[in-house]
Structure 1
Amino acid sequence: MNTGAAFEPWQVSATRFPGQDAADEEQLRFMLGYAILAPSSHNTQPWIFRFHGSRVGLYADRTRGLPLADHQDRELTISCGAALFNLCLAIRHFGRTMVGQLLPDEANPDLLALIGLGERKQADHECNSLFGAICRRRTNRGPFEKRAPDPGFLEKMERVAVQDGAWLHVVHGRSMRHAVAELVAEGDRFQWHDARFRRELASWIHSNRSESHDGMPGYSFGHGDLQSILDPFLIRTFDVAERVAARDLDTAEKSPALLVLGTPGDTARDWLHAGRALQHILLHSTAGGLSCSFFNQPVQVDTLRPRLLAAIGRQGHPQVVMRMGFGGDVRPTPRRSVREVLRGG
């Protein structure tokens, strides 16, 4: 059971919605409680919100960037795109249309989106189903069952990605799967041999008893309380690249489904599209009883991205590598509250 302020955001309830007669700012402030439950690299939660009249701006919080793992802030922007999807889904669920635009100010690239409430419109069943999955979605790094997701579901996810301005490639065949898994392992070796990368990673890993509102507790890796206390020191101190690479190679090859999410271009707008598509897929997966986790090493290491693209025979730019399958229940990770991410409000 998770208690304390770091887990209170997961207790957000639609029953506390202020109602459609409340001011737009009050409604949006409540809906931000769902935006902040989006996934992010290392659980950095790299977003800030500010109100501009009755609209809310989504800003990149670059102080929470990962210079070694994400030197272009690409995954940071993808994470913000996932938060944006949650916000827009909440708007629809509570009976409004969304009005707004992406990257509305060329002079301020940190302002990623400006969102407001449109006319009243009743949400459909799929919207409500996805909305209900927001508070249940988890990143599951644990073991999956051998059975694969239904092919029809994966085909639907391919269409979902296109709908959001991205593409999804399902890795088929033993040779293609092995090629992608080898790139995951090669990325592990490149990153873990670098002491700077290990220090960066360790700074976002916390003990199970930490009261931090961000980062990754040891239990999210299946580690007990004592192990979780030692984890940051061990990661900083020891180069276990070969061990990590062997583990991830095996896990990737045995994944029930191995997927690559990509985009036609590689701009901030494309990264936002990728984030929205990613969260759309993750919520469909959660609603369908599926779990997901990530193998982003081949897109974090610049020299591996074109090789990943060649391995799957696609055009464009790979943004996320993930596995999907049927896993057990996992605990939520800490979250910053709306109060902590809302500026000037």
Structure 2
Amino acid sequence: MGRQRLAKNRAFPPNLYQNTAGYFYYRNPQTKEQKGLGRDKARAFQEARKANAALATREPSSLVDWVLGRKDYTLAEWLPVYRELWDEKTQPAANTRYAANSLLKRLGEADLGNMRMRHIETVHVATYLEEFAKLSGAGMARNMRSKMRDIFRWAETQGVIDVGRNPVAATFNAGYKVKRERLSLEQFWAIHAHATTWAKNAMMLALLTGQRRDDIANMKFADYKDGFLHVAQGKSGGETKLQLDGAIKLTKVGVSIGDVVAGCRDLIVSRYLVHHTERVSSIKPGDKVRTGGLSDAFKEARERAKIEASEGRTPPSFHEIRSLSERLYREEFGSDFAQAILGHKSAQMTAKYDDLRGGWKTVRAK
């Protein structure tokens, strides 16, 4: 990635700069060499644009090739085309796009990237995924396999490979065992007893709402209105919007969502339900608690509660509260309700709990 431009230079053509003496100069992005262009701004801009245009004609574009009807690609050449097609079709959230680009970069740099799409067989893909799993773990290998399957599926639709010849389809997912210990309700209360005030609030919000760590950290008092807690889930880029009835209550816990929200109010002025209550270094009372802070506080309380994992496993993290919440709601109200409150998609949930007004899915107390 190139260096960050100064604000005053952001209107400049790419690769054009101006030094403190007022002289313009052009930096060749390929050779990193520089050439002075004098102090005439109009002339410098014109020369820079000509140079950029000349460079552009020397760089092959897979997307242009595809538009012009080219069908023969290496895997590395096809990936930019796939990225454009996939991005336009799915309109992914920022986090999803970032994760996908990371996988595409690694795939394009692999030896497999130099092979022609039509020549890639299942054995090539299986070998690559096996090595990928050794380097990055089974979970990442599963993500890579899913992405590769989609890459070749798009290639089928565009005539780059023959229909029915997706080489990823016959491969197996890398197997893995969940090493993290599940969190029991008894352990939850033990950890809760050793947590700070704001960490207690975060834990209770996570248990009653079933939401992810990032969403807990972002919850504001303004999100609770007309008896409902409004959550636009971050993982979906805000597309999954939930209205959770404040009256929703877990019998085994003994409080409702509304009770937990009310319990977050104190004498400190803050926009956020989970907020710092003491001054620590640059942190002031009322400041938002960052997601990493939630995990750290949970870990510290867990260690004070002396909760350890069994051999070969890791102790439960803050994220495991979501799993505990799902199990408690499923036990008390059924799997459809549990899926609804967590924001999972299912035909049953859509039929019973989906309120399309404004795109919000309303989950009411039973």
TM-score of the aligned structures, taking structure 2 as reference length: 0.28
Q: Which structure carries more relative contact order (alpha carbon 8 Å, separation 6+)? A: 1
TM-score of the aligned structures, taking structure 1 as reference length: 0.29
Of Structure 1 and Structure 2, the greater strand share is in 1
Answer with 1 or 2: which has the greater Rg.
Answer: 2
